[in-house]
Amino acid sequence: MSVPALSTRSLCKAFGSLPVARDIAINLPVGARYALIGPNGAGKTTLIDLMTGMLAPNAGQILLGEEDITALGPEERVRRGLARTFQINTLFAGLNALEAVTLAVTERRGVSGEFWRGLGSHGEAIDEAYEILSKLKLSDFCYQTTRELPYGRQRLLEIALALATQPKVLLLDEPAAGVPPEESGEVFEAVAGLSDDLTLLFIEHDMHVVFRFASHIIVLVGGAIFTEGTPAEIAADPGVREVYLGKRKHG
Amino acid sequence: MTPQAYMRAQSRWHPLEIAFWLATLLPFVIFPDYLSLASQIAVAALFALSLDLILGYAGIVSLGHAAFFGTGAYAAGIFSKFVWGEPFSGLIVGAAVAALLGYAMSFIIARFRHLTLIMITLGLGLLLREAANSAGWLTGGADGFQGISIWQILGLFKFDLFGTTQYAYSLSVLFIVFLGARRLIYSPFGLALRGIRENWVRMPAIGASSRTHIRKIYTIAAAIAGTAGAVIAQTTQTVSLEALSFERSADVLVMLVLGGAGRLYGGLIGAAIFMTARDQFSGIAPQYWYFWIGLLLVAVVMVLPNGILGGLSQFYRRWRGK
């Protein structure tokens, strides 16, 4: 079997005495479209925080391709091709969309420390940013300050910022969170339109969306992997149904 | 408009900017009696510009920025007394020593934010002032540093009593440094600084190392503050402990907030208003002039949260929008 794009090995994390990640082992094959689902408080966002280095695990390993990235800081992981988006908009409110994405592009190109050359002379970076924005249908709004953008477009800008880092693996934390249901399809169409080489893991609560866009589903409950499988398998799994409907018997 | 053209247009000179710089020449003609004050304003503006780069653009708070101003002043003063009095080399020495201190400090600064940062910078300022006070053999302590003798600029212009040379010198230094700062603000680095200010959390998630950026801008800002200090030492030919005082750190913050932080001209306008107000108010009631500054500050931050320039530009946009 080929090397997974991203994998975790017996990843553990506890906040005080509360375990939020228990012995998590995940393998994301290259080009996969994985969904991470589970009830509130299952530790889905925590898992993304661990993978991206925003939280340090108590035990276990994280591998990007063959490289162990467990000890690397978040920005080091991004530079190696592991990007994320945030459930709650984490944008540059006072910059416009073009500036924000250009910023991310110049960081990736390693020219963000250049204080002696004007931005205007980094035309390729600007064009690249514009291209990313066009891909997400944001080009018409790219001179608008981020905080003035409609909410749905802000969600797309989240993705645009992550794409500007040219990731190999992209972790999307509820990309359509807060977007009205009739518009959330738009966000996911944009996600579905991303390159096939890009490995994707997304958290999502809307099961219609999950079944439509995921090729594989991981169910997380209480910080541990409850089960995983194809959408058909998950749909047929009575255990998952119970977890979601809260009928699970204890003890 | 293409995205590239848009970005280039951002950094184009606005007619108002040109008008502003032409206006800085007016004191030579209209207020020849106030050239010393004008020179002090130019120095204060340079100092405020330095604070603007870290506070206004990168969002790094400081309540001890006088540390670099004073360091530059003492370094330039000591250099001119014991090495030689050539002014430009003195400027470079002042800037370099302050930059060195700033670079050393930046490793601490880049790790903290908010209140912690205010306390650290405040503490550093107090610490440095007391160090200068106790090192009387070098700094002259509370009596001030005397015996600075500055050569004629380029062997042609002498620092005289009328202040013409002083103002020409301060203004030239301000303008040249401003050109550099302006370039920086419209560079990818300037954009990254705004990114840090706008969202500290997102920066690592786009692969940016905020700490590296902060160390760099802090060092640059320290060098500029040091330059301002060096100019004051050279033009007044004395350095007092006041150059390192908390009051100076607080004043420059007030100037910047009055004028508008995060705007290239915020510190410049703020310095002009603050220094002129101080000059005028202290003529009326020397002991109470801070009362008026306090009143002005409270009024401005309540009515115009983005400073006087922020308010003006909002007004201008609304007016043009109609």
In this predicted model, what pLDDT tens digit does every residue of B77-108 receive, in sequence order?
Answer: 999 999 988 999 999 999 999 999 999 999 99
In-domain check, residue A193 = yes
In this predicted model, what pLDDT tens digit does every residue of B126-140 receive, in sequence order?
Answer: 999 999 999 988 888
In-domain check, residue B22 = no
In-domain check, residue A250 = no
CB pair distance less than 8 Å for A116 and B184: yes
Please indicate whether residue A73 or residue B285 has the higher confidence score (pLDDT).
A73
In-domain check, residue B234 = yes
pLDDT on residue B66: 97
Residue A128 DSSP SS3: helix
Task: Measure the CA–CA gap between B153 and B37, rounded to whole angstroms.
Answer: 20
With a cut of 70, say whether residue A246 has pLDDT above it.
Answer: no
In this predicted model, what pLDDT tens digit does every residue of B62-78 receive, in sequence order?
Answer: 999 999 999 999 999 99
CB pair distance less than 8 Å for B3 and A130: yes
Task: Measure the CA–CA gap between A59 and A61, rounded to whole angstroms.
Answer: 7
- Average pLDDT over chain B reads 92
pLDDT on residue A114: 92
Smallest Cβ–Cβ distance between A90 and the set B4, B187, B201 belongs to B201
pLDDT on residue B286: 76
- The total number of structural domains in chain A stands at 1
- The total number of structural domains in chain B stands at 1
In this predicted model, what pLDDT tens digit does every residue of B258-294 receive, in sequence order?
Answer: 999 999 999 999 999 999 998 888 888 777 888 888 8
CB pair distance less than 8 Å for A118 and B183: yes
With a cut of 90, say whether residue B56 has pLDDT above it.
Answer: yes
Most confident of A207-221, B169-183, B287-301: B169-183
With a cut of 50, say whether residue A44 has pLDDT above it.
Answer: yes
In-domain check, residue A1 = no
Distance from CA of B185 to the nearest CA of A (A): 8
Q: Which residue of B has its CA nearest to A80?
A: B207
With a cut of 50, say whether residue A245 has pLDDT above it.
Answer: yes
Interface test with B, best of A107, A130, A142, A146 (most B CBs within 10 A): A107
Residue A188: pLDDT band with limits 50, 70, 90 = confident
Smallest Cβ–Cβ distance between A114 and the set B8, B188, B207 belongs to B188
In-domain check, residue B252 = no
In-domain check, residue A251 = no
In-domain check, residue B197 = yes
Q: Which residues from A are below 8 Å from B10, CB to CB?
A: 119
ipTM value, please give it.
Answer: 0.91
Cα dihedral B191, B193, B194, B196 in deg (nearest 10): 130
In-domain check, residue B257 = no
Q: Which domain holds residue A102?
A: 6-245
pLDDT on residue A251: 40
In-domain check, residue B62 = yes
SS percent in chain B: helix, strand, coil, step 5 = 75, 0, 20
**How large is the average pLDDT for residues A110-119?**
92
Q: Which of B105, B107, B117, B109 is nearest to B63 (CA)?
A: B117
CB pair distance less than 8 Å for A92 and B4: no
CB pair distance less than 8 Å for A75 and B208: yes
**How large is the average pLDDT for residues A15-27?**
92
**How large is the average pLDDT for residues A177-187?**
83
Give the helix/strand (H/E) hosting A199. Answer: strand A199-203
In-domain check, residue A226 = yes
**How large is the average pLDDT for residues A163-192?**
89
CB pair distance less than 8 Å for A120 and B205: no
CB pair distance less than 8 Å for B199 and A74: no
Residue A247: pLDDT band with limits 50, 70, 90 = low
Strand partners, A62: A8
Task: Measure the CA–CA gap between A220 and A104, rounded to whole angstroms.
Answer: 32
First-last CA distance in chain B: 22
Task: Measure the CA–CA gap between A129 and A103, rounded to whole angstroms.
Answer: 9
pLDDT on residue A248: 47
Smallest Cβ–Cβ distance between A115 and the set B6, B187, B194 belongs to B187
Q: Which domain holds residue B44?
A: 31-244
**Interacting residues of B171 by C-beta distance below 8 A, sequence separation 6+:** B24, B25, B38, B39, B42
Q: Which residue of A has its CA nearest to B262?
A: A94
Interface test with A, best of B8, B10, B187 (most A CBs within 10 A): B187
Residue B1 DSSP SS3: coil
In this predicted model, what pLDDT tens digit does every residue of B196-246 receive, in sequence order?
Answer: 999 998 999 999 999 999 999 999 999 999 999 999 999 999 999 999 999
With a cut of 80, say whether residue A250 has pLDDT above it.
Answer: no
Whichever domain contains A123, its CATH number is 3.40.50.300
Please give the order of strands across the beta sheet that includes A33-37. A82-84, A169-173, A199-203, A33-37, A216-221, A224-229
With a cut of 90, say whether residue A180 has pLDDT above it.
Answer: no
Instruction: Give phi and psi for A202, each to the nearest 5.
Output: -130, 145
Task: Measure the CA–CA gap between A160 and A96, rounded to whole angstroms.
Answer: 13
Instruction: Give phi and psi for B285, each to the nearest 5.
Output: -145, 90
In-domain check, residue B94 = yes
**How large is the average pLDDT for residues A85-93?**
94
